[in-house]
Structure 1
């Protein structure tokens, strides 16, 4: 099985250079309202399966971004510290998104590194 984790430098590089990146923040709306990684969309971890099962038009209408194809190379999940992101990544992989990955540092690491 391919590595499912992605590091801060890897994520930073994707944010700067990958047109196909879809970064999904699986924290609660309340957490996201306090700060988020630029460009991420919010799908709480409990909704990941149902939202990824939406048809392409519904997903686009709801989130303003194209629904990722099953083989999306840069489908990244994250939460605050890694655990919910890992759960969401596993759910996505179970749905056939075989390259889904989890940003293990989560928003906690991101906000610490970006605040410097």
Structure 2
């Protein structure tokens, strides 16, 4: 299916072609792997959907950089959970469709969160396959 979306050179999809190529530079996690990591308690999910898309408990990608730069006490007070540590493994970001999770993963890795990964299937895949 990705091949069909790329289209020939000069088609109406040149921006998508670039986006697909760019997204491959970020570590990702598949749905089966994510389920296994969560079941074993070895992953931490961070929802970067907007507050309008999801209930409380999200850190919108537009606020993520400032959140990850906060001192732990401020983070705890604002988000009601412990701030991720730079050395945390399997710090998995997700959003509604995949793009913001990718951006969040890039940002977190740039800030030194070496275990940051993107669940590229996003909430969309999770909700479709979980029901």
Q: TM-score, normalised by structure 2?
A: 0.75
Higher relative contact order (CA 8 A, sep 6+): 1
The Cα shift of 1:3 comes to 5.9
Greater strand share, structure number: 1
5+ residue gaps in structure 2?
1-24
| Matches of 1:10 and 1:60, distance apart in 2 | 28
Q: Highest CA radius of gyration, 1 or 2?
A: 2
Residue by residue over 1:58-91, the C-alpha shift from the partner in whole angstroms, topping out at 9 and shown as x without a partner, is 1122222211110110211001121110001000
5+ residue gaps in structure 1?
none
Total equivalences in the alignment: 107
Q: TM-score, normalised by structure 1?
A: 0.84
The answer to whether 1:5 aligns with 2:21 is: no
Q: 1:31 aligns with which of 28, 53, 67?
A: 53
| Cα RMSD after superposing both structures | 1.8
Contact map agreement 2:38 2:44 (CA 8 A) in 1: no
